[in-house]
């Protein structure tokens, strides 16, 4: 395995491990979407935007490759559709609802922007 600097992730083995973690996270997101496990009060529905944010941070910090813009856009669109269709059943405070939607939009948009930077010619 090659080492190119003294940082924790500055070697092939660490980056391979990180790549495996990223692949696992992407698979979990796809599983949640494919199996319609996106309700905002269920574990997968809560955890999915967290995973998207973590993936974005990994991409920004460690140059991990994100899925395509089209994939992340699909995740966003499917997640937000379920969220919008379900959130009012939970009777959230209107301020929380508005603020949470802003956070969700920002989370997915940040991932889309980072992916676009990575995948642009």
The arithmetic mean of pLDDT across residues 21-31, rounded, is 97
Q: pTM score, two decimals?
A: 0.93
Measured between alpha carbons, how far is 47 from 15 in angstroms, rounded to an integer?
24
Percent of the chain's residues with pLDDT above 70: 99
Predicted local distance difference test score (pLDDT) of residue 19 = 94
pLDDT tens, residue by residue, 10-20 = 899 999 999 99
For residue 86, give the DSSP letter.
H
Residue range 89-108, pLDDT digits in tens: 999 999 999 999 999 999 99
Cβ(56)–Cβ(114) under 8 Å? yes
Total Cβ atoms within 10 A of residue 4: 9
pLDDT tens per residue across span 28-81: 999 999 999 999 999 999 999 999 999 999 999 998 999 999 999 999 999 999
The rounded mean pLDDT for the chain is 95
Per-residue pLDDT at 1? 57
The DSSP call for residue 35 is T
**Whether the Cβ atoms of residue 48 and residue 3 lie closer than 8 Å to each other:** no
């Amino acid at each position: 395995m090659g080492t190119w600097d003294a940082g924790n992730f500055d070697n092939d083995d660490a980056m391979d491990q990180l790549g495996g973690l990223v692949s696992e996270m992407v698979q979990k997101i796809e599983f949640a979407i494919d199996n319609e496990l996106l309700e905002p009060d269920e574990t997968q529905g809560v955890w999915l935007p967290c995973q998207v944010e973590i993936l974005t941070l990994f991409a920004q910090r460690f140059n991990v490759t994100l899925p395509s813009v089209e994939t992340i856009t699909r995740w966003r669109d499917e997640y937000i559709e379920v969220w919008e269709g379900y959130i009012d059943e939970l009777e959230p405070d209107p301020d929380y609802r508005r603020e949470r939607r802003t956070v969700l939009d920002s989370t997915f948009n940040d991932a889309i922007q980072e992916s676009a930077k990575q995948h642009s010619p």
